[in-house]
Copies of this chain bind each other. A is one copy, B any other.
Amino acid sequence: MTEFVPPLRDMQFVLRELCGLDAVVSLPGFDEVTDDLVSSVLEEAGNIAAEVIAPLNRVGDREGAKLVDGRVETPAGWYEAWRTLVDGTWNALPFDPQWGGMGLPHLVNTAVQEMWHSANMAFALCPMLTQGAVDAIAENGSEELKALFLPKMVSGEWTGTMNLTEPQAGSDLAAVRTRAVRAGDGTYLISGQKIFITYGDHDLTENIVHLVLARLPDAPAGIKGISLFVVPKVKIDAEGNPVGPNDVRCVSLEHKLGIHASPTAVMSFGDEGGAVGYLVGEENRGLEYMFVMMNHARLSVGVQGLAIAERAYQQARGYARERVQGRPAGSTAERAAIVHHPDVRRMLMTMKCQIEAMRAVAYEGAAAIDIAHHDADAERRAAFRRHYELLTPIIKGWSTELSVEIASLGVQVHGGMGYVEETGAAQHLRDARITTIYEGTTAIQANDLVHRKVIRDKGAGIGALIADMRALDGRLAEQAGADFAAIRTALADAVDALDGAVAWLLGPDGRDPVLTAAAAVPFLRLAGTVVGGYQMARAALAAATRLAAGEGDQGYLTAKVATARFYAEHVLPTARAWAHTATAGAAVTMGVADDQL
């Protein structure tokens, strides 16, 4: 197994050359955040990822989380690693100093999260879910609720979970049946069963803060009758001190394809009469709160897709450099490392170029969140809010689909050794495979993109993005040479394909709910492919500018241009195919009768 090396140089390149880290740290509210601070945070996080978290990845996969006498035990080393995060206040990175947060930009937190996930996806789900739970309470909870829970969740003394779905509900949260009854003292009594609860129980902390969707007896039917509650594993008094177990139980753990060390729990609330819960915000607005929070969580899962792809790439690259076998085409060497074989190189480059594209798009989304929250100008705040809301389903859906493809390529680079579990490549595929499913499947992301982000604003948001992408053409045209000519041609054609698909969505076919649902995933893949290509072109321009100025590492910057060219020749041509499938293909999706499937 290859050791994880934090890709700090690529991360810094994206932060500085593509996502305007300078501008982000200059936003109001980040007065204490300096360039040096960001670099040292990333470096130190990289050390922890590589030295503390990554070494637990394999043992976590082998041992898995275990349910013993009704309590979940995490694998050896998990507790100590969690303490490292708590002691270093790593969980507090993006949060308000009022609650003990470090007040760093979301952009920086995203880069740190990427490294946690690359190092050990099963472990990193715990801080990821906890940050999501903090967001949900911080954005919607009363001051009292915030004071009671946030300090300990921000520090990581307590962790957080999301209890959304139930056996009969799946992705359809309108079908949630868990009940909440007003207890009379301002609290509620919660009863019901929740499934697929990540880190629903564990032995890392003395308390776990469950965010639970439930329905009041007098609530309206459907999604407008769902409320959000905080239900701690251990009941607390008004000062937050533990006063005994709440009526919450982990019933069982799922036996999963991957992320074995991340306990996926069936949780039972209220077997003994009702678990004490605290309402978040107002009654019956739970789903609305969840949706706000989900934008962050979905971006996090997109980053997770990027991260596991990066790890799979490092594993494959390491193996390809070490494994000596056969004579590469065109070589005179009797034997050589397989990295010199053209098809191995093709696979590695396919991985690499898409990882760089994903990172650029994900970080751009994170930067947009910072601007949307911190910019002094209300119009800019609103514009960037729309921008990250547009990017969110793309980042989640596209990056996670790619993560599965990339992790699978990683196995292929290893040949037979990739199929042997000890090598580690197969684990990345098994782990990656969940990312297109949880926090909303790719289809759910795609429908969000098509309906809420494209059709609802009549193409305004995506039209602005398309205009930005077209505006790059002039700058690409100024660059000499075959690389930029190829990038420019491929990008222009791909943007046209996207533009055409948008026009189709905004035309008469876009008013047919069956057609748009059938078109949604291909459209999302199209959008991701093109937006990724745009960022790769920007990266190539940034590199060319530095090269022309004689600045920086020439080899590194030259490779950036060549990687963008590779993306243009190997990935962007799929845009036309996705566009065709999204539009012409939608009409035939339901063409075969049910009983003839």
Contacts and interface: CB of A to CB of B under 8 A. Distances in A.
Interface of A: 165, 168-172, 174-175, 195-196, 254-258, 317, 321, 323, 325-330, 335, 339-346, 348-349, 352, 404, 408, 411-412, 415-416, 418-422, 426, 429-430, 433-434, 436-438, 441-443, 446-447, 486, 512-514, 516-518, 520-522, 555-556, 558-559, 562-563, 565-566, 569-570, 573-574, 576-577, 580-581, 584-597
25 contacts: A165-B416, A168-B325, A172-B326, A175-B335, A258-B419, A317-B597, A329-B447, A329-B513, A330-B514, A330-B517, A339-B597, A340-B594, A341-B443, A342-B514, A342-B520, A346-B521, A346-B585, A348-B597, A408-B408, A415-B437, A416-B438, A419-B434, A486-B584, A566-B589, A573-B581
Contacts of A516: 329
A438 B590 CA distance: 37
Given A196-B416, A345-B518, A576-B576, A430 B592 contact: no
Interface centre among A257, A434, A580 (most CB of B within 10 A): A257
Given A408-B433, A514-B329, A514-B330, A420 B256 contact: yes
Contact of A342 (B323, B518, B595): B518
Contacts of A559: 592-593, 596
Given A175-B326, A256-B426, A345-B518, 8 more contacts: A170-B415, A257-B421, A329-B447, A344-B443, A418-B437, A555-B595, A558-B596, A569-B580
Contacts of A339: 594, 597
Nearest to A583: B569
A597 B563 CA distance: 9
A291 to B, nearest CB: 16
A256 B419 contact: yes
B342 A562 contact: no
Contact of A576 (B341, B442, B558, B577): B577
A530 to B, nearest CB: 13
Contacts of A558: 593, 596
A101 to B, nearest CB: 32
A593 B555 contact: yes
In order of increasing CB-CB distance, the 10 nearest A-B pairs are A559-B596, A329-B517, A172-B326, A342-B517, A343-B443, A562-B591, A330-B514, A573-B577, A342-B518, A569-B585
A345 to B, nearest CB: 6
Contacts of A254: 419-420
Given A591-B562, A592-B349, A255 B420 contact: yes
Contacts of A591: 562, 565-566
A438 B442 CA distance: 31
Contacts of A335: 172, 175
Contacts of A255: 420-422
Contacts of A585: 346, 566, 569-570
A166 to B, nearest CB: 11
A566 B421 CA distance: 37
B326 A170 contact: yes
A592 B566 contact: yes
Contacts of A257: 411, 419-421, 426, 429-430
B433 A416 contact: no
A552 to B, nearest CB: 13
A435 B401 CA distance: 21
Contacts of A588: 486, 562, 565-566, 569-570
A555 B596 contact: yes
Contact of A563 (B323, B326, B584, B592): B592
